[in-house]
Structure 1
Amino acid sequence: MRNRDRRIKWLILWIPTITIGLWEYIRHAFLLPYMTMELGNFLAPFIVLAVTLALVPGLFRRLEESQEALRREKTTNAALEERERLARVLHDGIAQSLFLLAVKLDQLDRTASDEPVRKLAAELRQTVRDVNDDVRQAIANLQQPPSAEEAAWVVPLRQLLGETAGVLEAKAEFRWSIPDDGLTNKEKVELHACLREALVNVRKHAKASEVLVVGEPTPQGGFRCAVEDDGVGFPGDPLASPGRFGLRMVRDRARRMGWTFAAERRGRRTVVELTKEGKRDA
């Protein structure tokens, strides 16, 4: 990538020089009988400008895209290195301490003669083993590349879904597959606000037993995000109901972003949906 960036920079520098050189060669080799020196000198800067405007902006775009990809790669690598560091800390610190604690409890179990003490030691040993399993699972998760669901801005949505399901004593499902680099920072902010408001609306009004948050890319390069529940639904038009300021806010945010907004009953489910159309094939 760095070699390509270097080639692009050299092209940007050399294009005016090569253009003026080619123009002078063509003028002296082919156009001199038909063109005065004054006219040739007058046309030279306009020709250089025209060629530069035709070629250099595309090269600048490619250079900016390459540098943006390099920044994303550095950010991803930094995140992976931090996850690996945390995995090492867990393994070398907490996991080893839990293992030694389990060994000590085994020794206590073998030497203790009092039955209540042996029983307590066995219970503690099982608890330590359960915690140790959790820690090792966390280490394994940290050593794997993060998924779309683990993006920093997505995590609070998943937590809010869990809290909402806890209040309603409902089943929660979180399905998120939109890649983090598939959204701009503004889109992330607006999506977070819209989905959060939709979840708050479910908590206040739905009386649901199942709640689903879904975010998925579309084949055309857009996305679909929705909050779905099997609750009581909307009495008529939800946007016309008094007090539904949250849904109207979501609709207005979606309109400003150029997204499609829907709040409706689909079968047994109530759906609040945001859709971004991707680029269509010509």
Structure 2
Amino acid sequence: MTALTEDTIVKIVKRLALLFALSATIALPGGYFSLEYSNGVQHLETVAQVKVEAINRLARVNPDLWMYQVLRIEELLQSDRVLRRNERVTVSDAAGEVILAVGAPSEAPIIMRTFPIYDSGRTVGHVEVAHSYRNVIYGTVAAGLLGVLLGGLVYATLLVLPMRALRRVTAALNKETEARNAAAALSRAVTETANDAIVIADGSGAIVGWNPAAERMFGYSQAELIGQPLTLVLPQRYHQRHLEGIRRVQTGSSWNVFGKSVELHGLTKARREFPIELSLSAWETPDENYFAGIIRDISERKQAEEALAERDSRYRAVVEMSSDGFWAVDQDGRLLDVNEAYVRRSGFTRDELVGMHIVDLDAKESAADIASHIEAIRDKGADVFDTLHRTKGGVTWPVEVTVRHRLDRKGQFLCFLRDITERRRVEEERRRSAELLQARTAELERSHQLLQALTAVQESVQEEERKRIARELHDELSQKLTVLKLQTALALSTFAQGDSDLNRQLKDIDSLLTETMHSVSQIATNLRPVVLDELGLVVALRDLVERFSERTKIECEFSVHPPDLSIDDKLAMPLYRMVQESLTNVARHAEASETTVSLHRDGSGMLTLSISDNGKGVSDEDRPGRGSFGLMGMRERAAMLGGELRVHSRSGAGTLIEIVIP
């Protein structure tokens, strides 16, 4: 037993002794106080019950005069039971006036009870009984002092006797511990100087011993593995077999690996497997079973065995079945082996190829290039690259080479060579197709640009024609209609008192002329708004929005930023037409109650025209295609201006159209 364990036991004994001592110290005064206090309360209630009953009888006999019979009351109070020295009884009438007080004055602290005096169900006075329990406090203090003495005696008794026995046991255990420590030191010296790994595990398979050789072999320090399961250093495939062996030992069965050497694999901290030879032994203690394993790294031996076995069947299965060519190349670039696929493709025999240098077959790289390439692959470990090989007849063919440097094969390079003639042909066809597609795309782009130019010319011609027609409507037809309206008004004034039928017909003509003049004005404005030519786009859009709101009863707002924004004449009419088309779509399809038109130019000169509404919108599935006539025309106009048109819409969330022009 170690000093630490002994110290712990001493602390436990001291705490138990202290617990018993405190129990005795607290129990004695506590019990005394509880008993005396209960007796005092019981006596008080008994005295009060007797005295109150006697005075109640007196009050029933003389209900109006009983309080004046002081001698009789005093006699009743002092009869039956004698008051204690520390008790006092006080009788008072219904008004609280003290009639008589018998007994010594009560010293604080006191217990007091008050009881009513009844006559025919009504209260005619009170009896108050008081009892001082100061003596109980004094007695409790004395009992407490006695409890302290008793507790100290208990503490000393319980502490001294176990400590003597503890010292005797400790001395015996120390001798046994010294013997065990000497044996452990000898075992530790052997374990720590051993070249093989020595691992000790308990009956559950948890590691309890781990020597320096094991640290070097597996990469774990002793602190990392103590308490960890032994399966941590075994690959997953051995775990079930290991756990079954542990269970057999725990149930008393034998494990056939004890006393034998078995070969399996260990697992390092870096998760690398390596071959090991394991010898197991086991022993029992009264409390636990233990296992010891001596582990030897047999990697070098296994490598030698594998090299011998591999020499007999060198890549035969994989290499000979491969449709790709294969080389085994030494450090200098000379072929050590080839497969049948490369023999067929190159036209050389196997005997001719073995011993040739790479430069004899590679039609692309020089000897210096090949030497540099070999050095680079040795550093990287692997590479994939394309080159050209030469057949026996001098014909070249493209090859994809996949090469790996094998350190465990005396520095050889293993190369797989794939004929990529067909791949190159397909790549060439793809390149030609891409060039043709690029040419046709360019031609289509030129056609599109020409179409845009023609469309722009057509737009310009149409606008000029609209402008001419609007001017003729305004200058000629409107003037003639105005003259006709004046003549009609003159006729109305001339025949005002005449034929009523003629008068009515003239009024109808006048009304029709008014409507016709309004229609002509509206047509002229739609063809070419005069305000656009005279006052610019901002004023024209504000006028368009106001007329739209008045005509459709849809609330429409217009905003512009900056307020003094000026738009070039070549942009004004296309932008005006796009707003006109958008508002027409809102009126026809959107079912909106509000719409907003905004014209904004930011600090970079980017011009954004947006038209939004709170209508029903459309989902992506229901949205009309890019070929719908209204949007298609607006997109063409935006493209001719060097900008783009964006449409944002969701079902039930309205629509936003943005025209962005750099």
TM-score, normalization by structure 2: 0.18
Q: Which has the larger radius of gyration?
A: 2
TM-score, normalization by structure 1: 0.40
Give 1 or 2: higher helix fraction. 1
Give 1 or 2: higher strand fraction. 2
